[in-house]
Chain A
Amino acid sequence: MKKLLIGIFGATLAFGAQAKLNVVATTPDLGAIAREIGGDAITLTTLAKPTEDPHFVDAKPSFILKLNRADVVIEGGAELEIGWLPALLDQSRNEKLAAGAPGHVNCAKGVPLMDVPATLDRSRGDIHAAGNPHYVIAPSNAKIVAQNIASALAQVDAKNAETYRANLQKFTAVLEAKMAEWQKTLAPFKGASIVAYHDSWPYFARDFGLKIELYLEPKPGIPPTPSHLAEVIMKMKEENAHVIIVDPYLNRRTAETVARDTGAAVVDVTQFPGGLKGTEGGYVQLEDYLVNSLARALAEKK
């Protein structure tokens, strides 16, 4: 008991002595970009696991504590975290993270969101009123996210503003150089039709000239049905689609079933660094992984 108390006391003290900017990112992709910008000037906590469905994260009390002690919270916005983040922020008792405060970074700011519905009708599935929230995976959007994070960090932590600005420049330069490389790798497959489980890849498709418009889900959030899958298979044949991409938290077995019936390849993908082995290194490594594994699968099946 004594040991426990000392431990608690020590941890509290250690927390008090901490001088770095305390940043909490909701999802690992935002966390990875925050790490690029913040570097050693921040301590970073990421709430959602990379293998987890970002729409369905539990609002665990430990997250309340993390948000309570944060200087900055970075969220994807566009309703990605609507099922869990508001409840956490309500209980966090942290004015720094209030909506509109400089410590509350909504990364969707300035991102041209796709698929914004003009009418909100849930008979079409679980639609997002603000548009498709899975935008970070497109490098062109990652640049905007990095800018949003850098300007917020610079505002909250003025003494390190130069560091953040320099890191932003560095990250943007790397992204731009890489972007040319990625586009070159995928150039031979321009217009190729790829099947996804959930409609979370429109931005990626746009950046790389791919066509990801067939989904195993009949409507967002509604599980695949045989009749819908049969339609997808017919369309795959029509469009000569030979690659099905699946995120770690989605049902790979459904994709395998469809692949068996079409001779397509199932390619494991993730939108979060660390979601698959070989993507732990950060945003650029994740994008490398995606581009290369897609190019490989598309080339094999051509």
Chain B
Amino acid sequence: MTVLVSALLAGANTLPAQETNEVEQLKRQLQQMQENFDRAQREQKAQLDALTQKLEAFTKAQVADEEKQKLEAQLAAEMASGQSNAPAAPEKKPWSPADTLTIARAGSAYMNMSFDAMMVAGGSTVSDPSAQLQLGDHDPIKNGFSLRNAEIALDGAVDPYFKGFANIVLKLDKNNQTEIELEEAYAQSTSLPANLQAKAGQFFAAFGRSNAQHPHQWAFVDAPIIMTRAFGPDGLRNIGAQGSWLLPLPFFTELTLGIFDGEGSTTFGFRNPGDADAFGVDRFHGRATLNRGLRGPQDLVYVPRIASSFDLTDQQTVVLGASAAFGPNDTGADARTQIYGVDLYWKWKASDAHEGFPFVSWQTEALYEIFDAGADPTASLPAENLRDWGCYSQVLWGFKPRWVAGLRGEYASSNAGAFDANDVFRGERERVSPALTFYPSEFSKIRLQYNYDHGEMFGNAHSVWLQLEFLLGAHGAHKF
């Protein structure tokens, strides 16, 4: 009985105990499910949030991109109506102070050092442009590519008394072999009294405007015809000395006198032996030349010049000049040459010019040469007076920043000479050259030029030249 009761009791006891267990278990299960559900929901929400965020960012970027593109197009259109809009490459690498110094320059290297290269591609209706059309030494010499001026320019203060200048020019000949010349190397005084200044060495004579300018200052691809006629392919440049005086006047007036050795092809119409013919005889204007040497001061070349300048208004400046060159020539024992020139330069620049634009400039030079040619009986050439004259006139219009349109007209002619049929430096010639120059920066330029040529010797010729120039380093400032 006791057993039964106790069993019953136990049974009764066990039953409620079992029931409690199950409830507990169910409760736990429910709780767990709820937790799972919550977690899943949280996770899902997180996922959803992340996705939404991503989507938002993406849309935003897209909108920004679209907005930027739209802006860009709109700005391009707006700017096209008003100003240049050449795209510049975006700057990739940010500036870092850890970068090393790469270029030496004035102030840190005692001098300005620069390298300037100019190359030309193009062509002409004549097969050999250098034969009659392009007589300048820095002109394009052949159809296709040519590189006729790569110069190393150095300048700086030598000491408290002198400044030093050097121009070393490298160029490629017709076979693309490198030629080198010491174009200029001279010292210039800085401390003479009485408004005087002197220079000595090899340098361009102060005759007119364009003669003393280096090719990278030129507004056209080639040298004016009359300049190459009077002064030859290289311009009037020789070893010598020059003094100049700034006159005590209320306006700028400078008197210059250059005295040059006068021997060689860089003093073209003077003691220049000329080029060798098939038999090795040096000839100039057809005559066999004498090597007459220097007998005294009368055999040097003298180049006087006077130049004045006026500011017509705040925006307009004019420079007027007259120059001459006198000396002996090698075609006769007492043969002499005289060259006279006048030049004019006028420039207008807006008073609120941006980077020097807009501007208009006008430059004109006219030259007259009297060359006493000696007789050469073996070549059946008489003694005669060869007279050559000509002029060029050029207008430049810097119509908006970095763009310059130019137009040059030229004329050259001569009296009749016995050797004219074979002399490329004589006879009548005309040339008209429109040009358009784009300056991506101060240190580079791209120029497109067309030449219409007409000459007694070759009839009509048409040429198109595309020029590229770049300048590295620090280059000294130019004169006006």
Q: Quick one: which of B79, B105, B479 contacts A257, CB cutoff 8 A?
A: B79
Interface residues of A in 96-120 (CB under 8 A from B): 98-99, 117-120
Q: When the two chains form their complex, are residues B441 and A62 in contact, meaning their CB atoms are under 8 A apart?
A: no
Question: Known: A120-B103, A221-B442, A249-B353. Is A226-B196 also a contact (CB below 8 A)?
Answer: no
Complex Cα spacing A55 to B83, Å: 21
Q: Which residue in chain B gives the minimum CB-CB distance to A86?
A: B477
Binary contact readout B76-105 vs A (1 if CB under 8 angstroms, 0 otherwise): 101100111111101100011111111101
Residue B443 is within 8 A (CB to CB) of chain A in the complex? yes
Residue B280 is within 8 A (CB to CB) of chain A in the complex? no
Q: Which residue in chain A gives the minimum CB-CB distance to B345?
A: A61
Q: When the two chains form their complex, are residues B442 and A124 in contact, meaning their CB atoms are under 8 A apart?
A: no
Q: When the two chains form their complex, are residues A122 and B441 in contact, meaning their CB atoms are under 8 A apart?
A: yes
Question: Known: A86-B477, A95-B190, A225-B87. Is A62-B102 also a contact (CB below 8 A)?
Answer: no
Residue A227 is within 8 A (CB to CB) of chain B in the complex? yes
Q: When the two chains form their complex, are residues A118 and B99 in contact, meaning their CB atoms are under 8 A apart?
A: yes
Question: Known: A65-B251, A87-B477, A226-B76. Is A117-B95 also a contact (CB below 8 A)?
Answer: yes
Q: Which residue in chain A gives the minimum CB-CB distance to B252?
A: A61
Residue A11 is within 8 A (CB to CB) of chain B in the complex? yes
Q: Which residue in chain A gives the minimum CB-CB distance to B356?
A: A56
Question: Known: A124-B95, A253-B82, A253-B83. Is A49-B314 also a contact (CB below 8 A)?
Answer: yes
Residue A299 is within 8 A (CB to CB) of chain B in the complex? no
Residue B264 is within 8 A (CB to CB) of chain A in the complex? no
Q: When the two chains form their complex, are residues B251 and A234 in contact, meaning their CB atoms are under 8 A apart?
A: no
Residue A248 is within 8 A (CB to CB) of chain B in the complex? yes
Residue A224 is within 8 A (CB to CB) of chain B in the complex? yes
Chain A positions within 8 Å of B4 at CB level: none
Residue B476 is within 8 A (CB to CB) of chain A in the complex? yes
Q: When the two chains form their complex, are residues A226 and B317 in contact, meaning their CB atoms are under 8 A apart?
A: no
Residue A157 is within 8 A (CB to CB) of chain B in the complex? no
Complex Cα spacing A83 to B480, Å: 11
| Among A58, A87, A234, A250: residue with most chain B CB under 10 A | A58
Q: Quick one: which of A60, A83, A86, A125 contacts B311, CB cutoff 8 A?
A: A60
Q: Quick one: which of A8, A87, A227 contacts B479, CB cutoff 8 A?
A: A87
Residue B178 is within 8 A (CB to CB) of chain A in the complex? no
Q: When the two chains form their complex, are residues A56 and B480 in contact, meaning their CB atoms are under 8 A apart?
A: no
Question: Known: A58-B317, A61-B252, A261-B71. Is A130-B85 also a contact (CB below 8 A)?
Answer: no
Q: Quick one: which of A59, A93, A129, A221 contacts B478, CB cutoff 8 A?
A: A59
Chain B positions within 8 Å of A51 at CB level: 351-352
Q: When the two chains form their complex, are residues B196 and A93 in contact, meaning their CB atoms are under 8 A apart?
A: yes
What bracket does the count of chain A residues touching chain B fall in? 35 or more
Q: Quick one: which of A65, A230, A257 contacts B68, CB cutoff 8 A?
A: A230
Question: Known: A129-B105, A254-B79, A261-B74. Is A56-B355 also a contact (CB below 8 A)?
Answer: yes
Q: When the two chains form their complex, are residues A64 and B246 in contact, meaning their CB atoms are under 8 A apart?
A: yes
Interface residues of B in 109-149 (CB under 8 A from A): none
Residue B195 is within 8 A (CB to CB) of chain A in the complex? yes
Chain A positions within 8 Å of B67 at CB level: 234
Complex Cα spacing A218 to B86, Å: 12
Q: When the two chains form their complex, are residues A120 and B72 in contact, meaning their CB atoms are under 8 A apart?
A: no
Q: When the two chains form their complex, are residues B252 and A95 in contact, meaning their CB atoms are under 8 A apart?
A: no
Binary contact readout B415-455 vs A (1 if CB under 8 angstroms, 0 otherwise): 00000000000000000000000000111000000000000
Interface residues of A in 256-277 (CB under 8 A from B): 257-258, 261
Q: How far is the CB of A10 from chain B (nearest CB, A)?
A: 9
Residue B381 is within 8 A (CB to CB) of chain A in the complex? no
Q: When the two chains form their complex, are residues B477 and A83 in contact, meaning their CB atoms are under 8 A apart?
A: yes
Chain A positions within 8 Å of B443 at CB level: 122
Residue A207 is within 8 A (CB to CB) of chain B in the complex? no
Q: Chain B binding site: helix, strand, loop or mixed by DSSP? A: loop
Q: When the two chains form their complex, are residues B252 and A65 in contact, meaning their CB atoms are under 8 A apart?
A: yes
Complex Cα spacing A86 to B477, Å: 6
Q: When the two chains form their complex, are residues B351 and A49 in contact, meaning their CB atoms are under 8 A apart?
A: yes
Binary contact readout A38-62 vs B (1 if CB under 8 angstroms, 0 otherwise): 0000000000010111011011111
Binary contact readout B464-480 vs A (1 if CB under 8 angstroms, 0 otherwise): 00000000000011111
Q: How far is the CB of A124 from chain B (nearest CB, A)?
A: 7
Complex Cα spacing A82 to B79, Å: 31
Chain B positions within 8 Å of A65 at CB level: 246, 251-252
Q: When the two chains form their complex, are residues A221 and B441 in contact, meaning their CB atoms are under 8 A apart?
A: yes
What bracket does the count of chain B residues touching chain A fall in? 35 or more
Q: Quick one: which of A8, A120, A219, A230 contacts B75, CB cutoff 8 A?
A: A230
Q: How far is the CB of B162 from chain A (nearest CB, A)?
A: 11
Complex Cα spacing A121 to B441, Å: 13
Chain A positions within 8 Å of B462 at CB level: none
Residue B107 is within 8 A (CB to CB) of chain A in the complex? yes
Chain A positions within 8 Å of B311 at CB level: 60, 62
Question: Known: A58-B480, A87-B478, A120-B102. Is A12-B71 also a contact (CB below 8 A)?
Answer: no
Q: When the two chains form their complex, are residues A68 and B197 in contact, meaning their CB atoms are under 8 A apart?
A: no
Chain B positions within 8 Å of A292 at CB level: none
Interface residues of B in 284-313 (CB under 8 A from A): 307, 309-311
Q: Which residue in chain A gives the minimum CB-CB distance to B195?
A: A93
Q: How far is the CB of B91 from chain A (nearest CB, A)?
A: 7
Complex Cα spacing A125 to B356, Å: 17
Q: When the two chains form their complex, are residues B163 and A90 in contact, meaning their CB atoms are under 8 A apart?
A: yes
Q: Quick one: which of B105, B310, B354 contacts A120, CB cutoff 8 A?
A: B105
Q: How far is the CB of B241 from chain A (nearest CB, A)?
A: 17
Q: How far is the CB of A127 from chain B (nearest CB, A)?
A: 9
Residue A231 is within 8 A (CB to CB) of chain B in the complex? yes
Chain B positions within 8 Å of A289 at CB level: none
Q: When the two chains form their complex, are residues A226 and B79 in contact, meaning their CB atoms are under 8 A apart?
A: yes
Q: When the two chains form their complex, are residues B197 and A222 in contact, meaning their CB atoms are under 8 A apart?
A: no
Complex Cα spacing A24 to B276, Å: 56
Chain A positions within 8 Å of B319 at CB level: 61
Residue A165 is within 8 A (CB to CB) of chain B in the complex? no
Q: How far is the CB of B443 from chain A (nearest CB, A)?
A: 6
Complex Cα spacing A87 to B254, Å: 15
Complex Cα spacing A287 to B76, Å: 35
Q: When the two chains form their complex, are residues A251 and B354 in contact, meaning their CB atoms are under 8 A apart?
A: yes
Residue A223 is within 8 A (CB to CB) of chain B in the complex? yes
Q: When the two chains form their complex, are residues B100 and A119 in contact, meaning their CB atoms are under 8 A apart?
A: yes
Residue B34 is within 8 A (CB to CB) of chain A in the complex? no
Residue B188 is within 8 A (CB to CB) of chain A in the complex? yes
Complex Cα spacing A225 to B250, Å: 46
Q: When the two chains form their complex, are residues A223 and B86 in contact, meaning their CB atoms are under 8 A apart?
A: yes
Name the 4 nearest CB pairs between A and B, nearest first. A61-B309, A119-B99, A61-B252, A56-B356
Q: Show 11 residue pairs from A and B whose CB-CB distance is below 8 angstroms, ordered by the A residue.
A: A12-B248, A61-B319, A64-B246, A87-B479, A90-B163, A90-B188, A118-B97, A119-B95, A129-B108, A249-B354, A258-B75
Query: Which B residues are within 8 Å of any A CB, using their own CB?
Result: 64, 67-69, 71-76, 78-79, 82-88, 90-91, 95-103, 105, 107-108, 157, 160, 163, 188, 190-192, 195-197, 246, 248-252, 254, 307, 309-311, 314, 317, 319, 347, 349, 351-356, 401-402, 441-443, 476-480
Contacts beyond the supplied A230-B68, A249-B354: 9 A-B pairs with Cβ under 8 Å: A15-B250, A52-B351, A87-B476, A87-B480, A118-B98, A218-B90, A251-B401, A257-B75, A258-B75
